[in-house]
Amino acid sequence: MGGHSKVVPLGEILVNAGVISRENLHAALEEQKVSRLRLGEILINDGRLTENHLADALCEQLGLQPVNLSVVKPQQEALAAVPEKVATRLNVLPLKLIGSDKIAIAMSDPLDIHAVDEIFLLTNRDIEIRVATPADIRKALVNYYRVQSSVRDAMADAMKRGTGGDVSDVVTISQAKAQDVAEIGADAAPVVRLVNSILEQGVREKASDIHVEPAEKMTRVRFRIDGTLFSAIDIPTNLHLPLVARIKILAGMDIAEKRRPQDGRILIKVAGSRIDLRVSTLPSIFGEKVVLRLLDQDNDKVGIKKLGFSDGQEKMLKDAVSASNGIVLVTGPTGSGKSTTLYSLLEILNQPTKNIITLEDPVEYTIAGLTQTQINEKIGLTFGAVLRSVLRQDPDIVMVGEIRDTETSQLAVRAALTGHLVLSTLHTNDAPTAINRLLDMGVPRYLLSSSVRAVLAQRLVRKLCPHCRERLQITRALERETGISADRVVYAPKGCPECRFTGYNGRTVVAEIMPVDRRLRTMISEGASEQEIRDHARRLGMTTMREDAQAKVEAGITSIDEMLFTTMTE
């Protein structure tokens, strides 16, 4: 560990850097005499100092190097040298082994001699200290140590036994669909075990997607959890080809075709649950990138009450879909929960007296009592072509996964006008914009005004972790920016093991629902502007997504940051 002939006091470094005032320093030193806490800890607790500022000051004081843990990835060998329980207790992250006698570790407190001594005795290596914030280290510990030992063991086994010819060792597609991943034991080919361990870990972490991304020196595996990607494990480049080949065989893809994108599907069992994996490959300069979308087929369908709609919004939705005809639209960007909302509405409508047919690309969940049709544009099964046939099947309710073109939009509207209830989605930022989008697709005003029952626009926001959220004081500036009164009790994310130190756990919907009454139909027919349509919808009781998000902030469900990020277009 480097040093100076004369160490400058930490407080002086902070004052000279303009991070704190000399008055702040004197007050903290007086408090230190009573509390015996470290100076940095006192200043952070008082809100005078951030963890990042403290880390920078410690580096300057002790002549150490900082480390950015969002960029630097620890070596598997270094992680294996320090058990997870020890690293978590000491809040240190092993980074890499240097030669045969040294290990680099990330610490938030480089003056913690007891921690340094314990790592030295454990590894029998000299310690090279890098400085990171406590929060960054806690988050990295979860990201890198929470990968199950079975994944690391399978990877180590694959490296030891070699990978040549591994592709021939995997089970057949039909076997894979029937087999529980837990039944694949130590006798299976190493790459088989590695793939199944990654899939099992993704399911247990409640990931919505698993990314396998080749790079120049390694292949990175990441999980998308609550809309955010987290690093799971780095895999040596020589395992990339057999890893991808294993996935492609399970998904029924052509393993010899590496130049073109492919799509496939895998069915597996994890902990008794049937998981449907939608697999997509994409050629890149370092090899094929693979993304797997995870769909839990045994998970109870999410009821409309659990999605996060307010009582008023729920009533508007149920009123809209209770009609025998018309079109109900759900709008929002990709990943905003539109499909989940449609499935919840179909669950409400699913009765033995109804003939319900869906057109989906892809079919994400199967629902008993419905006729669900998979769109396949490669063979001409487009939304428009299938919708023409569906209308000859005597349907009561039709769900069109997405209105993408003029043909589909016009057929959907005409179906809504001929005694069918139609549910579908569009990509628009808000509810009033959906009207103009359909007009742009060539739907005549007089048909559109007569057919639309309601438009729902929605986004997903992350929910604050109930185990660690902390109160946030609303400043005057924040009050002006958000409209939230300074006397309101609101919360901010903190981070704990329950939420992977992100401060968030799960997601909920924020929405605006625009009901269409007789006056609004007339306005659409007469060419009213989006703003005029919005103003009338507000008079009918529509709350905007921003207002809905703010209500969830004030209820302690989500944070101000999530509200601002999700509704920045308003």
Contact 426, 301 (CB under 8 A): no
The conformation of residue 180, written as its DSSP 8-state character, comes to B
Check whether residue 282 and residue 332 sit in a common domain: no
Q: Scanning the structure block, which residue is given the tokens 């959890």?
A: 225
Q: Which amino acid is at 328?
A: V
Spatial separation of the C-alpha atoms in residues 97 and 173, rounded to whole Å: 41
Strands 326-331 and 421-426: parallel
For the residues of 297-347, what is the DSSP string, one character each? Answer: TTSPPPPGGGTT--HHHHHHHHHHHTSSSEEEEEE-STTSSHHHHHHHHHH
**Are 311 and 292 contained in the same domain?**
no
Between the CA of residue 561 and those of 273, 387, 481, 568, what are the distances in Å? 35, 42, 12, 10
Q: Which residues constitute the domain of residue 6?
A: 1-63
Pick from 3-17, 399-413, 485-499 the range whose average pLDDT is largest.
399-413
> Is the pLDDT at 163 greater than 60, yes or no?
no
If pLDDT is split at 50, 70 and 90, which confidence band does 24 have? Answer: confident
Residue 46 DSSP class? T
**Residue type (1 letter), 421:** L
- Using one digit for the tens of pLDDT, what is the confidence trace for 232-243? 888 889 889 999
DSSP element (H, E) containing 290: strand 287-296
Q: What number of other Cβ atoms are within 10 A of residue 436's Cβ?
A: 14
In a domain, 559, yes or no: no
Whichever domain contains 402, its CATH number is 3.40.50.300
Query: Above 80 in pLDDT, residue 427?
Result: yes
Residues facing 209 on adjacent strands: 224, 293
334 in the same domain as 259: no
**CATH assignment at residue 270:** 3.30.450.90
Residue 178 has pLDDT above 50, yes or no: no
- Please check the confidence at residue 148 and state whether its pLDDT lies above 90: no
Element spanning 231, H or E: strand 228-235
**Cβ(422)–Cβ(415) below 8 Å:** yes
pLDDT band for position 164 (50/70/90)?
A: very low
State the pLDDT at residue 529: 93
H/E segment holding residue 126: strand 126-131
Q: What number is the average pLDDT over the span 225-234?
A: 87
Per DSSP, what are the bridge partners of residue 507? 462
Residues 6+ apart with CB under 8 A from 360: 372, 373, 374, 375, 399, 401
Give yes or no: residues 170 and 33 share one domain: no
450 and 320 belong to one structural domain? yes
pLDDT tens per residue, range 491-508 = 999 888 788 778 899 999
Residue 35 CB coordination number (10 Å)? 12
Within 10 angstroms of residue 74's Cβ, the number of other Cβ atoms is: 23
- Whether 315 and 280 map to the same domain: the answer is no
Determine, yes or no, domain membership for 153. no
Is it the case that residue 364 has pLDDT exceeding 60? Answer: yes
pLDDT of residue 5: 54
Does residue 87 sit within a domain? no
Picking from 151-160, 288-297, 341-350, 494-503, which range would have the lowest pLDDT averaged per residue? 151-160
The answer to the question of residue 79 being in a domain is: no
H-run or E-run covering 295:
strand 287-296
Which residues, at least 6 apart from 59, have a Cβ–Cβ distance to it below 8 Å? 65, 66, 131
Number of domains in the chain: 3
Verify that 224 and 245 share a domain, yes or no: yes
User: Which of 296, 329, 350 is the last residue before a domain boundary?
Assistant: 296
Report the alpha-carbon distance of residue 388 to residue 411 in Å, rounded: 7
Residues 236 and 349 in one domain: no
Q: Of 13-17, 61-65, 291-295, give the range with the top mean pLDDT.
A: 291-295
Q: How far apart (Å, rounded) are the C-alpha atoms in residues 301 and 170?
A: 33
In a domain, 464, yes or no: no
* Dihedral angle sign, alpha carbons of residues 32, 37, 40, 45: negative
Least confident among 145-149, 221-225, 343-347, 551-555 = 145-149
Between residues 253 and 477, which one has the greater pLDDT? Answer: 253
Distance, CA of 196 to CA of 17 (rounded, Å): 51
How many Å apart are CA 410 and CA 403, to the nearest integer?
9
36 has a pLDDT exceeding 80: no
pTM of the model: 0.74
Question: pLDDT over 70 for what percent of the chain?
Answer: 90
Model confidence at 175, pLDDT cuts 50, 70, 90, reads very low
pLDDT one-digit tens code per residue, 259-308: 999 999 998 887 777 889 999 999 999 999 999 999 987 665 667 888 99
Q: Is pLDDT larger for residue 273 or for residue 514?
A: 514
Residue 447 clears pLDDT 90, i.e. is over it: yes
Residue 154 covered by a domain: no
Other CB atoms within 10 A of residue 472 CB: 18
User: Are 364 and 433 members of one domain?
Assistant: yes
Q: Is residue 281 domain-shared with residue 321, that is, in the same domain?
A: no
Which of 63, 91, 117 terminates a domain? The answer is 63
Q: From the CB of residue 265, how many other CB atoms can be counted at a distance below 10 Å?
A: 18
Q: Are residues 383 and 400 in contact, defined by beta-carbon separation less than 8 angstroms?
A: yes
Return the residue matching tokens 């280290």.
Answer: 137
Q: 502 in a domain, yes or no?
A: no
Q: Indicate whether 227 belongs to any domain.
A: yes
What is the per-residue pLDDT for 17?
84
Lowest mean pLDDT, pick from 34-38, 176-180, 416-420, 555-559: 176-180
In sequence order, which residues have a C-beta less than 8 Å from that of residue 311 and are 6 or more positions away?
A: none
- pLDDT greater than 80 at residue 176: no
CA dist., res. 529 & res. 540, Å (int)? 17
Q: What is the mean pLDDT of residues 531-546?
A: 93
The pLDDT confidence band at residue 473, using thresholds 50, 70 and 90, is: confident
pLDDT band at 518 (very low <50, low <70, confident <90, very high): very high
Residue 170, Ramachandran bin (φ over 0: left; ψ between -120 and 50: alpha; else beta): beta
406, pLDDT greater than 50: yes
Alpha-carbon distance 403 to 387, whole Å? 11
Predicted local confidence at residue 1, as pLDDT: 46
Tell me which of 34, 63, 92 is where a domain ends: 63
Strands laid side by side in the 326-331 sheet = 371-374, 356-360, 397-400, 421-426, 326-331, 452-464, 504-515
User: 421 vs 130, 349, 399, 435, CA distance in Å?
Assistant: 62, 10, 8, 18
- Extract the runs of DSSP E, i.e. beta strands, from 401-495: 421-426, 452-464, 470-472, 490-492
Average pLDDT in the 552-564 region? 95
Smallest Cα–Cα separation from 191: which of 215, 171, 220, 221? Answer: 171
Same domain, 377 and 278: no
Residue 184 has pLDDT above 80, yes or no: no
End-to-end CA distance of the chain: give it in Å, rounded. 52
Output the six-digit token pair for 362: 């892809």
Can you read off the two tokens belonging to residue 327?
Answer: 């079109």
Q: If you search the block for the tokens 């140590």, which residue do you land on?
A: 145
**pLDDT > 60? residue 525:** yes
Pair 345, 408 in one domain: yes
pLDDT band at 439 (very low <50, low <70, confident <90, very high): very high
The candidate with the shortest Cα–Cα distance to 359, out of 325, 403, 323, is 403
